[in-house]
Chains A and B, each alone.
Chain A
């Protein structure tokens, strides 16, 4: 079945850029998403990209999609302590009714 893989942990210094990576197996995924989860909370939709795009920028967030390698990344510029959270990659499967989630990358930002 479909699978989404993420590294589990990333530690960065405040002010640096963070890059969170994700690989997926379903080449027919049309929509690809990044969600943020803070402790004990629900998921916040950060951004998304259509499969016919290579890049999308939204303020401090840049999403890169390499469809050939089935690789998605999220770059956070000027990372702040408030960015510390778990980041989930998700891809659509069988239309946009169903999302397949990765296990999440825990981002720790230190001074």
Chain B
């Protein structure tokens, strides 16, 4: 089945620890995205990547880092510098430059205490 997988579904960490969220897609999509969702709010863009080895900051990149070493993978690291990391994190991907549809993974709920 083609799609986007995120793991794990639930993640718990202690304050001060870095944590990496996984996102993998087998859709052969060029572009990948990370969004954050907080209760009662829309999604906010953290980082996006249009091509391997290239990525750009979104609206709320502070305290996060990403890498794009492979086309199918776009991991997000939530660092200890992120002041309020508890949230639902969603990964998305989009096809080639002429594609306008973003498809989403199932999300990872991160809780930091």
Q: Enumerate chain A interface residues (CB-CB to B < 8 A).
A: 4, 8, 30-31, 33, 35, 40-45, 48, 88, 90, 92, 96-104
Q: Mark B76-113, 1 if CB is under 8 A from A, else 0.
A: 00000000000000101010000111111111010000
Given A42-B90, A97-B48, A98-B48, is A92 in contact with B100 using a C-beta cutoff of 8 Å?
yes
Q: Are A97 and B42 within 8 A (Cβ)? A: no
Within 8 A of A (CB), among B18-34: 31
A30-B100, A97-B48, A102-B42 known, 8 other contacts, Cβ within 8 Å: A33-B102, A35-B104, A41-B107, A43-B43, A88-B43, A98-B45, A103-B41, A104-B42
Can you list 27 A-B pairs, Cβ within 8 angstroms, ordered by A? A8-B40, A40-B107, A41-B107, A42-B6, A42-B90, A42-B105, A42-B106, A43-B90, A43-B104, A44-B104, A45-B103, A45-B104, A88-B43, A90-B43, A92-B100, A96-B94, A97-B31, A97-B48, A97-B50, A97-B94, A98-B45, A98-B48, A99-B43, A101-B42, A103-B40, A103-B41, A104-B42
Closest to A106 in B: B40
Interface of A is mostly: strand
Give every chain B residue within 8 A of A43 (Cβ-Cβ).
43, 90, 92, 104
Q: How many residues of B contact A (CB 8 A)?
A: 25
Q: Are A48 and B100 within 8 A (Cβ)? A: yes
For B31, B43, B50, B99, which residue has the most chain A Cβ atoms within 10 angstroms? Answer: B43
